[in-house]
């Protein structure tokens, strides 16, 4: 688009930001209604993918700082959702395991996440979902390309 061509509506970046923020808040609310949060959900997904992971592995999987993960793990352990035990192969690390209560919460949060996804997809055909996924991927590529040029 040249400088002479002005967008006729809200710029796509602003529209995407508004929708992303609204969807993020709504998803957080859906998880909270089931007694969870986004960090708890992400940690649980990480543990389901890699049972008995250590804290460093979870932090790496989530792209979070170790201290942030520690904070959430402490709360989850206090709530009885997980246990931490010394790794016999590396005494400096702790192996983290979901408890039975943690697994029950995971299943509640998974149901909430699936229901939220169904709500998002309402009135949108499978072809439109595929097109949206492609467009979002392309937008992400455009953003990444811009960031690599700037650095």
Residue 78 lies in a domain: yes
> pTM, whole model, 2 decimals?
0.81
Host domain of residue 88: 32-117
**92 token code pair:** 């400096």
Local structure of 6: helix, strand or coil:
coil
Q: What is the pLDDT of residue 7?
A: 64
User: How many domains does the structure of the chain reveal?
Assistant: 1
| Degrees to nearest 5, angle at CA 94 with 92 and 96 | 170
Residue 69 lies in a domain: yes
Mean pLDDT over each residue of the chain, to the nearest integer: 90
Q: What is the pLDDT of residue 83?
A: 94
Q: What is the CATH number of the domain that holds 110?
A: 1.10.10.10
Residue 60 lies in a domain: yes
Q: What is the pLDDT of residue 100?
A: 96
- CB burial of 108-138 (b: ≥16 within 10 Å; e: otherwise) equals ebbebbeebeeeeeeeeeeeeeeeeeeeeee
Report DSSP letters for 39-77, one per residue. HHHHHHHHHHHSTT-BHHHHHHHHT--HHHHHHHHHHHH
Q: What is the pLDDT of residue 134?
A: 96
Q: What is the pLDDT of residue 149?
A: 61
Tens-place pLDDT, residues 77-104:
999 999 998 878 777 778 899 999 999 9
> CA-CA distance, 142 to 53, in Å (whole number)?
34
Q: 10-residue block means of pLDDT along the chain (151 residues)?
A: 67 93 97 94 94 87 86 95 86 88 96 97 97 94 78 52
């Amino acid at each position: 688009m040249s400088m002479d061509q002005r967008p006729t509506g809200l710029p796509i970046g602003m529209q995407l930001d508004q929708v992303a923020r609204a969807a993020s808040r709504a998803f957080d609310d859906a998880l909270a209604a089931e007694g969870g949060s986004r960090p708890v959900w992400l940690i649980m997904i990480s543990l389901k993918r890699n049972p008995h992971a250590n804290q460093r592995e979870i932090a790496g999987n989530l792209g979070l700082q170790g201290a942030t993960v520690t904070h959430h793990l402490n709360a989850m352990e206090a709530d009885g959702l997980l246990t931490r035990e010394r790794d016999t192969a590396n005494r400096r690390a702790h192996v983290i395991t979901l408890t039975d209560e943690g697994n029950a919460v995971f299943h509640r949060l998974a149901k909430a996440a699936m229901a939220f996804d169904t709500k998002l997809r309402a009135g949108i055909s499978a072809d439109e979902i595929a097109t949206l996924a492609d467009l979002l991927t392309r937008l992400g590529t455009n953003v990444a390309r811009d960031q690599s040029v700037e650095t």
